Structure 1
Amino acid sequence: MYKELHKKYIIFFLITTLAFILRFYLLNDHNAWHDEWHTLYVSDPSINFNETIQRYLGDKGDTTLTEFYPVLYLFILKFFFHLFGYYDDIGRVFSLIFGTLIIPLSMYICVKYFKKENYWFVGFLITINPFLIWQSLEIRAHSLLVFASLINLIFFFEILKKKKLIIIFLYFLSSVFLLSLWPISGPIFIGKSIYLFQQYIKNKKTFFHIYLLFILIPITYIFLNLDYLILNIGRDYHYAAISKSFFYNYHFRTFFGSIYTGGIFLILFATLIIINLRSILLNTNFDNILFYIIFFTYGSTLIYSTVRGADIMSPKYVIFLVPIILIIISNLIDNYRYKNICMAFLILVSLVNIYNNYYNWPIKRPNIKYILSDLQSYKIKTIVSNENDVFNNFLANTYNYHKYNFRLFKKDEFKHNVNSFWFICQNYPRYAYGNLKRNEIDPNCLISFSDYKKTKTIKTKDMYILQFEQIRK
């Protein structure tokens, strides 16, 4: 028994370490884009509570844009910045921590609640999943969302087994936290409710302590988040519209990093569900909780998007499904004779996938890290920008900006009191335009300064940079 436990600890440690390395290795090369710039701007640790709320509600200095996801993540990130420093990479480290912790949590669920010896298989597939790796480096709430979802699932499994007050209380707290962090996690609770109903119908089991919790949790959530709910009920637009491709890939293309890998996992997942449909409907084991969560997450987001006309169909919104899908696949193939062949095939497919797509982030970002490293070699420390406050705040809070002692001025605040400077401008960035205007120059980037002459032009895929030197009289 001791040797077996020791072996599991070693496997947990090795796979979790690999997950950390694969994510941390990309940290230095990873850059931010528009959404993350806004996250940084709102979660500035140097401003007070009211200013944070004003920025969240749309006050972005010289622009206006409301953040419609819950403010909870921003305050947590703000506190993290306060502790460890206000740099973009610190925000990525925050996501990286939770993006790594989902691996041991997923393996723990397999071992503790499904008694599976192929827990390492689930851990390894999650470790090398490109989508989860990429999201572990986004300055957004998605990695924390997956972590919180798995923690909440663990507490739910526990309160099904025993009525310890501390576990009930922790489940209550984790549920309110999860909903407050990401309301689209609501279908997780619908799936659990269906499981409880099935338990009552099939086995005449009642869980009055859980029924009470399922009344208290939404009441508490609404009480704490009433302003947020009112804000969102009044929305007349969303960012993630339904596409036709959803009805034949069900986010699997994004979940697994490519069309081919997503297709393989989708076909396998659908086949396993069809083959085991009878047992899913008749049995009342813990697997059913995961089935219902997946089914009602897809169903709820689709119904909400079509009936209300509020599109919430981004794969990132339901990223918590990825480890759940992999746990189900692992559990189902474990029942078959050729499970080792199937696992070897999926590992091979996943390894080829991560090899081909490790650096292939779906949203192309301005390579600010490289640009600042390149500019510092010219020994010119002054940067002038005509970009908005959100971008300028991001630029001024990158690690390389401080490392190389740059000074940033907005164009209308520049005093013309230096011998030379850089003018930096976004030139039809790919995150907004794709490659449609890659050969064009944004008119806002074509600029001149009195008493200065242009001496150098640097054009990257997203930025247009000019060097100016003072005209000697």
Structure 2
Amino acid sequence: MADIRKYLVSNGAIILVLFVAFVLRYWNLNYQSLWLDEVHTMIESDPDTTWEYLYAYLKTIDVHPPLHYLMQKVVFIVFGHTAYVARLFSVVAGTLGVAAIYFLGKEILNKKLGIIVAVITAVNYYALYYSQEARNYIFLFLFATLSFLYLLRLIKRPTRKNSLLYAFLTLCLLYTHYYSLFLVATQAILALVFIAIEKKEERLKLFRLFLLSGLIIGIGYSFWLPVLLGKSGINSFWISSIPDSFMSTYLFTYFGNSNLLKPIIVLLLLIFFFNVAAQSETKHNIKKNPLILSFIILVSWIFLSYFIPYLRSLITVPMLFPRYTVGVLPAILLILAYGIYLFKSDLVKVIVLGVFVLLSLTDIIIVKEYYSKITKTQFDKMMGFVNDENPDNYPIINELTSWQTGFYFKSMNITADTLMGKKEALVDSILSKTSEKYDLDGFWIIRAHGDQDLSVEKRQKLESNFTRFREAHFYDAHAELFVSKHLLGSDFISISYDGFHENEGSIMEDENLIAIWGGRINSKPIDFKPGDYKVIVSAKGTSADGEYAHLKISINDSMIGEYYLTGDFDEKVFKYKAGLDSMIVVSVELDNDYASDSGEDRNVYLRNIVFKRIEKEGL
């Protein structure tokens, strides 16, 4: 017990930092939907698929090495195949990354530097972001840190244990992301430099140990080398050309492009490099001078790991992208931490570190609203809406992301068919009933990850034959249910832009909308049967002075509902009970019209109002 108490007291600071790091990474873990690349992880590491399938897919299609998928598959087998489990695995890796960089800072100089860099890493935007994403990038950060940790230990203390651990961790790095090839190439150059400057009596020993590590790494990676060589022939990629300013751009990207942090980042970099410039050492004293040693390793780590892929991007195909370079981030964080450490006063160190943490958390939590603002494609909400609103099991058109949404088909037990192909061509086939497959009473069109809408001409043609019966808009995702007008009959009534009196509102025929600039518009009289109806309003609004347009829906001058609109075409559902057969008039009123001095104006854009008799089964 006394030993445990002693350990906790002596390591209380790093334990507290790791606890905070874990909380920041775990907080609101599943608030965002899985986005496109994360869904790839869920599908490729599916525990129900065979290991042979995973290997074949990674070998022929995916652009990443296998380690993360293999580890994720094992985690899924043990703990379950869910988004929470996938992301929690990254949370653990991200927290371990903070611990790893603590040990690297401690190895470079001392425990105090380790604490400083751990604190900075705990609140770093990039390290936090990828610790909440079910992808391999935080593992790249972790293994890059550990690999360089044992590279440094091998340089400072040439032992077989350090040689073997360096080889093992570097293999993990290589099997995590292909960008790690440039990190390892940098390490090879550093190894040659330190062998060359080593004292003669120690040079051979260091050479042999690096040779041992190199042989293990070479043999261990040879199993994947044919796959790598096959992918090296790629002559086109989705990444655009790399600008000359990419290094400075990436530097601030790692910190979320925070304007709050930019001045302090630049200040700490200057302090580090000015102090390095003031040093004067011979080559044999380098390992005994932490500042010079860290300069050689960290600057080489950054510069060469950028420069080598930059050259390749210029010569062959662009391959640099900020998240691919997350393996460089530990070196940048260490330089910033060293910059703080170089303040002579401990009080100043604490103040500067405290300001850095405060500005980082302010930017993350308040400016970026990281934990409360949706920023990722809402596949889960879109597919949940389709699943809940598709009792007739109508087929689904999904041009861009049909493979990815297969994960939700499986997890939500969705049995509807997916119509494969270009959405415009599929709509033509449905309208023309080119085969029995396309003779449909209804179908869905879903779009996500930037998928474009139908053309105006195609949508007008579609809506002359089908009614847009249900619709929901989510972040970067959209779902629409179209039902044939001949099916709806008297139990389903849809009022669109042409169902209102002329000269009331502004018809936007190209967008199938009617705009309300202020006041009230009235529909043409509608013949209604008695019964209970669900009333579905599809509209969006604009805001002024922080308040959105407020809408009142009335039938025969009796209000049935009211609500504030949003900037998206959301649906609002009300209930209405019709008495005897009668004619009704639907009124839609914008009752808080306002135009601000800054040019903002509250307006309403109404897509349609659908009445559905609740007694009818199915729809």
TM over 0.5: yes
In structure 1, the partner of 2:353 is 343
Call closer, same or farther: CA 1:75–1:254 in 2, change over 3 Å.
same
Which stretch shifts more, 157-166 or 181-190? 157-166
Residues 290-312 of structure 1: per-residue CA shift (max 9 Å, x gap): 23212211222222222x32222
Could you say which structure has the greater relative contact order, defined with CA pairs below 8 angstroms and 6 or more residues apart? 1
1:78 to partner: Cα distance: 2.2
Which protein is bigger by CA-based radius of gyration? 2
Cα distance in structure 2, aligned partners of 1:86 and 1:445: 42
Q: Is the 8 A contact 1:249 1:266 kept in 2?
A: no
Which one has the bigger helix percentage?
A: 1
Residues 252-310 of structure 1: per-residue CA shift (max 9 Å, x gap): 1211012525633552354134313433985334413223212211222222222x322
Q: Is the 8 A contact 1:385 1:408 kept in 2?
A: yes
In structure 1, the partner of 2:589 is none
Residues 337-390 of structure 1: per-residue CA shift (max 9 Å, x gap): 343443233223223222222528999432233445666776959574222542
Which sections of structure 2, spanning at least 5 residues, go unmatched? 421-435, 490-619
Q: Is the 8 A contact 2:94 2:131 kept in 1?
A: yes
In structure 2, the partner of 1:357 is 368
In structure 2, the partner of 1:385 is 396
Task: Tell whether 2:151 aligns with 1:172.
Answer: no
Call closer, same or farther: CA 1:332–1:263 in 2, change over 3 Å.
closer
Cα distance in structure 2, aligned partners of 1:38 and 1:243: 26
In structure 2, the partner of 1:77 is 72
Q: Is the 8 A contact 1:422 1:467 kept in 2?
A: yes
In structure 2, the partner of 1:329 is 336
Call closer, same or farther: CA 1:97–1:174 in 2, change over 3 Å.
same
* SS of residue matched to 1:7: helix
Q: Is the 8 A contact 1:445 1:464 kept in 2?
A: no
Which stretch shifts more, 68-77 or 439-448? 439-448
Which stretch shifts more, 347-356 or 314-323? 347-356
Cα distance in structure 2, aligned partners of 1:442 and 1:213: 68
Which stretch shifts more, 317-326 or 66-75? 66-75
Call closer, same or farther: CA 1:118–1:171 in 2, change over 3 Å.
closer
Task: Tell whether 2:46 aligns with 1:39.
Answer: no
Q: Is the 8 A contact 1:424 1:463 kept in 2?
A: no
In structure 2, the partner of 1:209 is 208
Cα distance in structure 1, aligned partners of 2:38 and 2:460: 23
Q: Is the 8 A contact 2:32 2:375 kept in 1?
A: no
Give the count of matched residue pairs.
451
Call closer, same or farther: CA 1:298–1:262 in 2, change over 3 Å.
farther
Cα distance in structure 2, aligned partners of 1:345 and 1:16: 19
1:188 pairs with one of 162, 183, 190: 183
* SS of residue matched to 2:376: coil
In structure 1, the partner of 2:377 is 366
Call closer, same or farther: CA 1:281–1:137 in 2, change over 3 Å.
farther
Call closer, same or farther: CA 1:17–1:375 in 2, change over 3 Å.
farther
Q: Please tell me the residue identity of whatever aligns with 2:409.
A: A
Which stretch shifts more, 198-207 or 68-77? 198-207
1:464 pairs with one of 460, 478, 498: 478
Cα distance in structure 1, aligned partners of 2:337 and 2:300: 17
In structure 1, the partner of 2:256 is 257
Q: Please tell me the residue identity of whatever aligns with 2:303.
A: F
* SS of residue matched to 2:65: coil
* SS of residue matched to 1:148: helix
Query: What is the 5 A alignment of 1:109-128?
Result: 109-128=104-123
Q: Please tell me the residue identity of whatever aligns with 1:396.
A: F
Q: Please tell me the residue identity of whatever aligns with 1:348.
A: L
1:440 to partner: Cα distance: 7.4
Cα distance in structure 1, aligned partners of 2:457 and 2:250: 34
Cα distance in structure 2, aligned partners of 1:245 and 1:445: 46
Cα distance in structure 2, aligned partners of 1:410 and 1:301: 40
Q: Is the 8 A contact 1:122 1:330 kept in 2?
A: yes
1:55 to partner: Cα distance: 3.0
In structure 1, the partner of 2:617 is none
* SS of residue matched to 2:46: coil
Which stretch shifts more, 245-254 or 312-321? 245-254
1:143 to partner: Cα distance: 1.0
Normalising by structure 2, report the TM-score: 0.63
Q: Please tell me the residue identity of whatever aligns with 2:320.
A: M
Q: Please tell me the residue identity of whatever aligns with 2:35.
A: W
In structure 2, the partner of 1:298 is 306
Normalising by structure 1, report the TM-score: 0.80
Q: Please tell me the residue identity of whatever aligns with 2:472.
A: I
- What is the aligned-residue identity percentage? 18
* SS of residue matched to 1:456: strand
Q: Please tell me the residue identity of whatever aligns with 1:318.
A: T
Cα distance in structure 2, aligned partners of 1:442 and 1:367: 28
1:123 to partner: Cα distance: 1.9
* SS of residue matched to 1:458: strand
Cα distance in structure 1, aligned partners of 2:11 and 2:337: 20
Call closer, same or farther: CA 1:52–1:199 in 2, change over 3 Å.
closer
Q: Please tell me the residue identity of whatever aligns with 2:354.
A: A
Task: Tell whether 2:326 aligns with 1:313.
Answer: no
1:48 pairs with one of 31, 47, 50: 50
In structure 1, the partner of 2:127 is 132
In structure 1, the partner of 2:529 is none
1:177 to partner: Cα distance: 2.2
Q: Please tell me the residue identity of whatever aligns with 1:294.
A: I
Q: Is the 8 A contact 2:268 2:340 kept in 1?
A: no
**Backbone CA RMSD of aligned residues:** 4.0
Q: Please tell me the residue identity of whatever aligns with 1:331.
A: Y
Cα distance in structure 2, aligned partners of 1:139 and 1:302: 27
Q: Please tell me the residue identity of whatever aligns with 1:459.
A: H
Cα distance in structure 1, aligned partners of 2:29 and 2:166: 33
2:447 pairs with one of 412, 420, 426: 426
Which one has the bigger strand percentage?
A: 2
Task: Tell whether 2:149 aligns with 1:154.
Answer: yes
Q: Please tell me the residue identity of whatever aligns with 1:220.
A: I
Cα distance in structure 1, aligned partners of 2:237 and 2:303: 23
Cα distance in structure 1, aligned partners of 2:461 and 2:275: 63
In structure 1, the partner of 2:583 is none
Q: Please tell me the residue identity of whatever aligns with 2:229.
A: I
Residues 211-260 of structure 1: per-residue CA shift (max 9 Å, x gap): 31353145325522222222122110233334437346241121101252
Cα distance in structure 1, aligned partners of 2:250 and 2:317: 18
